[in-house]
Amino acid sequence: MWWRATWGLGLFAGSMAAGWALARAGRMTQARAGRLVRWLIKGPAPVMLCLAFWGMDLRRADVWMLPIVGFLVSMSALAPAFLYSRHAAFSAPQTGSFLTCAMFSNLGYLGAYTAFALYGETAYALCVLYFMFFTPCFYTLGFSLARHYGRRRGERGVQPALGDDLRLYPFLGMVAGSALSWLGIARPAWLSPVNHALITTDTVLSLVAVGSQLLLVSPRRWLEPCLAMSGIKLLVTPLVAWAVVSLLHLQGLPRFVVLLEASMPVGVSPLLLPLLFGLDRRLTNALWLFTTLVSIPWLLLVLPLLQRW
C-alpha cells in the first residue's frame, strides 16, 4: 500500500509546483486563483461533501469520539494564538492569518500518511475519523474568523466576490449528506468512484490555486511569529492532546493517532483564506513554510516518544 502514500505526496507536491509554474508563466494571477477557489467552493465542494457524509454511518456514537477530540485540540490553539497576536500588535489581517494558521494543521497529507506508513490502513482510517471535524470547522468557524479580520470589500487587493456567503454552499452539502445518512438511505455503489474523482479534482485544483500564490520568501522578517506558531503547534497542542487522551483513557493506536495529529504543522487550507478574505498572505506563507520545515526533524525526534506515550 506504499503506492498510496507516494501518490498522495506526489499529488500534493506536483499540484503545488504546477500552480507555481503557472503563476511564473503569467497564467494564474491572484484574481484567477481567487475565482478558481470560489468556483470550487460553490461547485464541486458541496457535491463532494454531500456524498462523503452520506457514505458514513453517522448514527454510530463511537464515530464521533475522535473528531470531538480533534476539535477540542484544534480549538485549544486559539487562546495562545490570540494572546500572542495581541502581544505582537498585529493588524487585523495579520491577526486573522495567525489565528487561522493556529487552528488548522496538516492533518491529512502529513499526519494521516505518517500514520499510514507506520501502522497501515487502520491507522489511516482512525486519522480520517479524527479530522472529520476539519472541513465543517474550516468552512464555518475558519471562514467567519477570516471574514471578521480580513480587509473589507473595496479595499485594495480584495475581490468584489468577497461579499458572497461562500460558507453556505459547503454547509448545505454537509447537511444534505448527513440527512441522507441519518435516514438510513444507502448510497449507490457507483457514487463511490464518482466522489473519488471529485475529491481528487478538487484537491488538485485547490493546490494549484494555492501553489500559484505561494511566496517562497525568507521568513526572517516573521521569525518571532514563526517561532511562536511552532511552539503552539509542536508543544502546546500535543500537551493538550496528551491531557485529553489521558482523561478519556484512550489507549493503543487511537491514542497514538491523536498525539500524532496534534503535533502537525500549519495546514494547506489556511493558504486559501488570504485569496478570499484579504488576510496577510506573506505572514500565512511564512508560518506554513517555517512550521513545515521545522516539523520534519521534530517528528523524527518525538515519534518514538509518541509511540510510548
Write down the pLDDT at residue 199: 83
CB 277 within 8 A of CB 147: yes
Q: Across all residues in the chain, what is the average pLDDT? A: 84
Give a yes or no: residue 157 inside a domain: yes
% the chain with pLDDT above 90: 37
Q: Which domain holds residue 208?
A: 2-9+30-308
Residue 238 pLDDT > 90? yes
Write down the pLDDT at residue 4: 55
* CA-based nearest residue to 105, from 274, 236, 220, 196: 236
Write down the pLDDT at residue 6: 57
Write down the pLDDT at residue 9: 59
Residue 42 pLDDT > 70? yes
Write down the pLDDT at residue 228: 97
Mean pLDDT, residues 148-155 taken together: 65
Grid coordinates in use for 236?
Answer: 502546546
Give a yes or no: residue 209 inside a domain: yes
Give a yes or no: residue 23 inside a domain: no
Write down the pLDDT at residue 16: 82
Residue 291 pLDDT > 70? yes
Confidence band, pLDDT 50/70/90 cuts, at residue 109: low
Grid coordinates in use for 96?
Answer: 486573522
Give a yes or no: residue 295 inside a domain: yes
Residue 288 pLDDT > 70? yes
Give a yes or no: residue 17 inside a domain: no
Residue 200 pLDDT > 70? yes
When divided into structural domains, the chain yields a total of 1
What CATH number should be reported for the domain holding residue 39? 1.20.1530
Write down the pLDDT at residue 156: 45
Mean pLDDT, residues 109-114 taken together: 74
Write down the pLDDT at residue 93: 95
Give a yes or no: residue 15 inside a domain: no
pTM of the predicted protein model: 0.75
Give a yes or no: residue 20 inside a domain: no
Residue 158 pLDDT > 60? no
Give a yes or no: residue 169 inside a domain: yes
Write down the pLDDT at residue 159: 44
Cell 471529485 -> residue:
198
Tens digit of each residue's pLDDT (9 = 90 or more) over 49-102: 888 888 877 776 666 788 999 999 999 999 999 999 999 999 999 999 999 999
